[in-house]
Amino acid sequence: MARQIYEAIVDGILTGGVYALMAVGLTLIFGVLDIINIAQGVLVILGAYLSYELSVRAGIDLFVGLLITVPAMFIIGVVIHWAFLRRLRGRERTSMTLLVTYAVALIVEGILYKVWGPNYVQLKASYVNSSVHVFGFYLPYIYIYGFILAVALIVALYTLLYRTRFGRSVRATMQDETAARLVGIDVNRVAALTFGVGVAVTAVGGMVYGATSGGFNPNSGYDLISRLLAIIILGGLGSIGGALAASIFMLTLESLVDIWSPNWAIVVFYGALVVVLVIRPTGFFGRQAVRAQ
């Protein structure tokens, strides 16, 4: 039993890294723009399909392909913001974004069905199904790489937000949009670029998801979005590090419960969200925790 528990913990940590890759863009977009991007799951799948296309058609390695898919997804993100979100204003803006991004999800899903059809595909590479033997456990390379990528991505996003002029503009815009305008920040441009960055990082999550899941098709994003929303809420809406912490916490918990009952594991996943929010309404790294620093 002890071995099963250790294995479940390792599983949870590694899988948590994969989920963090998918959730970090979602939390960034909410943190900056107050947009609950329901299309995030479908965009993850779009990222996976772009990696698939590069891998199958051009023989480009999945990780090398990110050099193309990340900028491509950035552009897609900027276009989505420009076309659907920039005009949303007023008190109902956040709730309106739920509807608008749901519409975006349906549009993207429809395009994916048209282009790639309903059959499931899987990303393949030599390291996708292989693993390394460490302390008696087989650790799949793709999960290890995914975890490293998650940490690297979070460091990169922190650097972007705290060590660049763009990051200062972003933070200024969030703290007080009116004041940011007064000091000459182009708030609309910052919003578009931030949405683009949030979608761009989804390309990384999509690639790793496409390689670790049993297969994906245009509909697969809907299984993801509920989990991703739960993760970013638990981590603290807008907290990039919180997304990683919450991913690891939720997936480890689920993995442990899975030993006894897989059906209860999913209940516990969402149950944990409710319990944590009752005890700590701002999540792990919510606003109050930041203020205490």
Partner 1 sequence: MRPDLPLFSSNRFSRNALALGAAAALCAGVLAACSSGSSSTNNNSSSSGNTSNSGSGKPIVVGASLSLTGDFSADGQAFQRGYNLWASDVNKNGGLLGRKVEIKVLNDASSPTQVVTNYQTLFASDHVDLAFGPFSSLLTGPSSAVAARYGYAFVEGAGGAPAVFNTPSNQADHNVFDVSLPIKDEMVPFVNWIQSLPAGQRPKTAAYPMANDPFADPPVQEAQSMLQALGVKTVYSNIFPAEVTAYKAPADQVAAKAPQIVVLGSTDVPTVAAFMQAFEQQHYTPKLFIAAAGPDQGAAFTSAVGKGNAAGMMVPNGWYPGFANAQSQAMVNEYVAKYGGSPSDVNADVAEAYAVGQVMAQAVTATKGTDNSKIISYLHSGVTLSSVQGPVKFDSLGENHAAAAFTFQWQDGGKAFNQVLPTGDTGSKTIIATKPAWTS
Q: Residue 154: CB partners within 8 Å, gap ≥ 6?
A: 20, 24, 240, 241, 243, 244
Asked if residue 205 binds partner 1 (CB under 8 A), the reply is no
* Binder among 63, 212, 268, 280 for partner 1 (CB under 8 A): 212
- Least distance (Å) from partner 1 to the CB of residue 193? 14
- Least distance (Å) from partner 1 to the CB of residue 204? 18
Q: Which two tokens stand for residue 202?
A: 């989804």
Residue 121, beta-bridge partner list = 216
Asked if residue 155 binds partner 1 (CB under 8 A), the reply is no
- Least distance (Å) from partner 1 to the CB of residue 166? 13
For partner 1, which is the closer residue by CB, 63 or 213? 213
- Least distance (Å) from partner 1 to the CB of residue 199? 17
For partner 1, which is the closer residue by CB, 84 or 168? 168
Asked if residue 164 binds partner 1 (CB under 8 A), the reply is no
Asked if residue 104 binds partner 1 (CB under 8 A), the reply is no
Asked if residue 136 binds partner 1 (CB under 8 A), the reply is no
Asked if residue 188 binds partner 1 (CB under 8 A), the reply is no
For partner 1, which is the closer residue by CB, 68 or 268? 268
CB atoms near residue 176 (< 10 Å)? 11
Asked if residue 21 binds partner 1 (CB under 8 A), the reply is no
Site size toward partner 1 (CB under 8 A) is 91
For partner 1, which is the closer residue by CB, 3 or 165? 3
* Binder among 110, 115, 148, 159 for partner 1 (CB under 8 A): 110
For partner 1, which is the closer residue by CB, 81 or 227? 227
Asked if residue 159 binds partner 1 (CB under 8 A), the reply is no
Residues 50-89 that bind partner 1 (CB under 8 A): none
- Least distance (Å) from partner 1 to the CB of residue 130? 7
CB atoms near residue 144 (< 10 Å)? 16
Dihedral of alpha carbons 258, 264, 269, 275, sign: negative
* Binder among 113, 148, 155, 188 for partner 1 (CB under 8 A): 113
Residues 217-246 that bind partner 1 (CB under 8 A): 217-220, 222-227, 229-230, 232-233, 236-242
The half-sphere exposure of 246 on its side-chain side, counting CA atoms within 13 A, is: 34
